[in-house]
Amino acid sequence: QVQLVESGGASVQAGGSLRLSCALSGRSFLAVRMAWFRQATGKEREGVAAIVTADRLSYADSVKGRFTISRDSAKNTLYLQMNSLKSDDTAMYYCAAARDSGGWLPSRRAEDFDYWGQGTQVTVSS
């Protein structure tokens, strides 16, 4: 059983920063592809950022230049550094991991992921 547990969500003012973490535990497997998704109330789930390796990343246009995804494989932890936060970033944030390597290409498509965390809420007030 694989578990993903997010943390770091909070309420912040616009312009502020947060760092989300996602700890992966359970049976040992190499989560080649991992990603962060978010879903705001009444909106579709959006793939925010994805990672395979430090040089294989993918970002949604809405967060490019503001968010940075990274991973610490030794700690089995995924991170999302969020800077210059806007009210539009308000959402529940989820991390996800895929069982297969997907050709070692990052993906922000929800259907490519098999394991999901329970989410952590980010609220940005203007």
Number of H helices, E strands in the chain: 0, 11
Cα 7 to Cα 2: distance, rounded to the nearest angstrom: 17
- Give the C-alpha distances (Å, rounded to integers) separating 20 from 2, 28, 62, 95: 19, 23, 17, 9
| Residue ranges of the chain with per-residue pLDDT less than 50 | none
pLDDT, tens digit, 9 for 90 and up, residues 107-120: 999 999 999 999 99
Taking only the tens place, the pLDDT of each residue in 85-94 is 999 999 999 9
